[in-house]
Structure 1
């Protein structure tokens, strides 16, 4: 089932829905819980450190250095530590005395930190643990430390690894997903596992978010769990409660060639063959299927046997345009699927019905979508959809996705709603090199720099205005080479020789770097490079 998008851009805070926690109350409860848990976490961390193997072995070496007698006994003491570890691995049961002795010399939580799926990005600025479906975890993983926990270990992973936020995605409860049948009254074990996950998060002061990305039929029995969450968000495919866009990874939807003119890609459930299409839409779908057949166009979907990203690449490489899934979004549902956004990001046009959420997210690129309804000339619409986007058109689409519907922007908005200090957008922060800073032009940038590198100190007012908007100022003292500027910058990316009068100059440089596009013609030799 494809992911329909959200009602608002990630940065927009929607009105609170009746019966749901407001953004302010969620933030206050989260901060209170974090404050109450901070002392307890510190005490537990100290206790674990004192009974860890590292601490025990280190203490033995320190004592051996202080006393020659202890130096002679050091091999024996180290052998005892090794023997206790071997005994722990070899026997499943233990007496209370043995367990107490082991706890004195072994860190029982350390092994959990070595879990291979604990995160593909342990150095990321934002850490997420929870019940996530494969597609969402794949989209978030390049920009956050994402651990998609299984039901039998979720609570233990939260207790051992910790996180900035715990997310429970209702799509993870669909058949074939790790938490399948969560919310089904007959699957009590799933409900118990989810409750243990929430309890473990609350004990550590970690906010819990319920992300509903499926229809109300799949989330009706999650209300008891929802009442214990700090924030409830209605993402793609859910009803309009508290709409939110989880974002897409622009780099995962590359332009994979010109495509084949007689194929159309559908990233999600095929609306032309799905058995649960509403009766009101069947006539339009049948007419569209007939028009596609008459034009000699075959529809394809990503192969579910392969990982998400490679399957999308293969499907896009052999398609000329995309078909929205679902074809028509009901007014009561959150529209705009991730598949639709990704199809546009890949440089292909999208054919489908009116979608207010796509219009909201991409307000300046409506020309990239071919809208069809009962009165549309479908033959002409299909012909228009087969025309690929040009480089400038695709750059504009990607720019809007970067600003409104990308994963770092969405996660940054989530962090802000929960009152967290994490900065998920840090991976795209830019240090802007300027010789004569124009403060007004800097503030008009659609993607503002995190800091400005200048050769000489700024005037007091200019410095104060930039600081007021969260933009730092670093004096480079005449540094001119890339290496020197990279050393002076605190951001992962550095931009120089930027035509600052263009409000989209930095955003376009980011788009070209992320999507691998060729540089557009500019009056200056603008460059964006990695500071590392």
Structure 2
């Protein structure tokens, strides 16, 4: 009997809480209605109609006063953008069963947490670098109210017809616009920044909803999707034509009529570009994606982005340019390396996301603007033999286009001149007691150095390798998701497990590029893999994914070949 009474009491308590929430919401809406400019204008017009003699004389002044005050907040406690500090919450968000239906995600990683109104393509681009909580119109209040997020991100491409947020910001979709406005007001009250990415045409009113920052452009090139990994050696001879403007294609893109629309076939686009020798596109963003896949690019409208090889992407005006590009074929290995390097450093998705985070104010104690790039941190493991070799190490590290996060050396080498020079330039140097300095290239010694590192990646340095040594290796790892990157090798002999290989491991470069292989001479590897102390020859047996990256001399840049690690 007592249980039944307690159950009834609990039901009455919940019903009372719901009624109070409904009453609070109704009162807030009534106050907003009475304070609205539209109602005051209506009252002024009605008063002028009742007393035309005086009312028509006062009406212009009254309307001018309302116009002057329409942009100001009636609440003195409102924030700088005129929003109330406590947004109205729907009573549905108070119900525990509604919270359970929302499916609150568990946060178990270090990625920045983003509540997003995103297109499927934008969400796929952000997935490796941010934990995305999708917002949908029907449960936006429940999900957002129950989640602890660092950023609210909205892409204009999410408002295309056929999507849950179709026509967002348009007067024809008032319910969706109201839902997003609630999110922005709630985010402002909690101090959460909001960003609009205008990566597609959208109603002008969308940008006026009160975002902290509006970015014109896309989210950069997601290299984990657009890359040359495992591309077929023989590509299609004819050009692939891709339209990304959302408008009728440019005449050069239209060509024979076989046009691929990027917004419709976004899932298949990387595979299509990897099979093409030449791509004819109409936006710089598509040009970057095609270059990352190894295709030579003709841009029908505009000019390619900065930093790209002039021969890899060019503006086109007619069929003559197209015939020339088809004759040249796909990118050469040198052109591909330079194009990927430029995209990795300047226009990849984590770089763009970091720039966007730098333009808004993030909550203290939450995510940071550098989190998207944390996966690129690398520790260089080195064991210089003497002062001369340590100075070569210092020269090599100080000219890297991607600076290492830290250098790890044996304690017996910590006082070498080159190591002191690295410290003087502000680089973090960690010293580790080595068991046997004479066995400096053994897997056990690499594992000992890796145990002292704090980064997800380790670079195994044994000789000068060029200014692009780290950036090329990290770019290949980001493109492929591999566990180790290096030159593909062929075993010269010895036992199958590699136990009796000589000091240089008896390896010879196999000259393969951007393909997964069974064995590499590693220049970059995950710290957890190196810490295991296994010989690299057996890494693949333990489930490691190994990517081949050949030795190339960058065209027109460094005089020394990059990754000159030939056994």
Give the TM interval when normalised to the shorter protein: 0.5 to 0.7
Distance 1:507 1:464 in 2: 24
Residue 230 (structure 1) aligned to one of 212, 215, 222: 212
Q: How does 1:131-280 map to 2 (within 5 A)?
A: 131-215=117-201, 218-225=202-209, 228-236=210-218, 246-255=219-228, 256-257=231-232, 258-266=234-242, 268=244, 274-275=247-248
For CA contacts below 8 A with separation 6 or more, give which structure has more relative contact order: 1
By how many angstroms is 1:182 displaced?
A: 0.9
CA deviation profile, 1:136-189 (whole Å, cap 9, x unmatched): 111111221112211232333232122111112122112123311111112111
By how many angstroms is 1:201 displaced?
A: 1.2
Name the counterpart of 1:493: 457
SS of the residue aligned with 1:162? coil
Cα-Cα RMSD = 4.1
Q: 1:388 to 1:503 in 2, by over 3 A?
A: same
SS of the residue aligned with 2:487? coil
User: How many residues of Structure 1 are paired with residues of Structure 2 in the alignment?
Assistant: 396
Distance 2:198 2:245 in 1: 18
By how many angstroms is 1:493 displaced?
A: 0.8
CA deviation profile, 1:44-64 (whole Å, cap 9, x unmatched): xxxxxxxxxxxxxxxxxxxxx
Residue 400 (structure 2) aligned to one of 423, 445, 451: 445
CA contact (8 A) 1:302 1:314 kept: no
By how many angstroms is 1:472 displaced?
A: 2.9
Residue 381 (structure 1) aligned to one of 319, 324, 328: 324
Residue 383 (structure 2) aligned to one of 435, 438, 458: 435
Q: 1:500 to 1:156 in 2, by over 3 A?
A: farther
Residue 316 (structure 1) aligned to one of 240, 260, 273: 273
Question: Do structure 1's residue 348 and structure 2's residue 295 form an aligned pair?
Answer: yes
Q: 1:470 to 1:321 in 2, by over 3 A?
A: farther
Question: Do structure 1's residue 474 and structure 2's residue 447 form an aligned pair?
Answer: no
By how many angstroms is 1:129 displaced?
A: 1.0
Unaligned 5+ residue runs, structure 1?
1-76, 101-105, 237-245, 327-335
Distance 1:224 1:354 in 2: 29
Name the counterpart of 1:426: 374
Distance 2:311 2:404 in 1: 30
Residue 95 (structure 1) aligned to one of 15, 26, 41: 15
SS of the residue aligned with 2:305? helix
By how many angstroms is 1:298 displaced?
A: 5.0
Name the counterpart of 1:529: 525
- TM-score normalised over the length of structure 1: 0.64
Q: Give 1 or 2: higher strand fraction.
A: 2
Distance 1:514 1:201 in 2: 32
Q: How does 1:3-82 map to 2 (within 5 A)?
A: none
Distance 1:461 1:212 in 2: 51
CA deviation profile, 1:92-140 (whole Å, cap 9, x unmatched): 994338999xxxxx9778736744xx58x85242111121111111111
Residue 447 (structure 2) aligned to one of 479, 483, 493: 483
- TM-score normalised over the length of structure 2: 0.60
Residue 391 (structure 1) aligned to one of 326, 333, 336: 333
CA contact (8 A) 2:296 2:325 kept: no
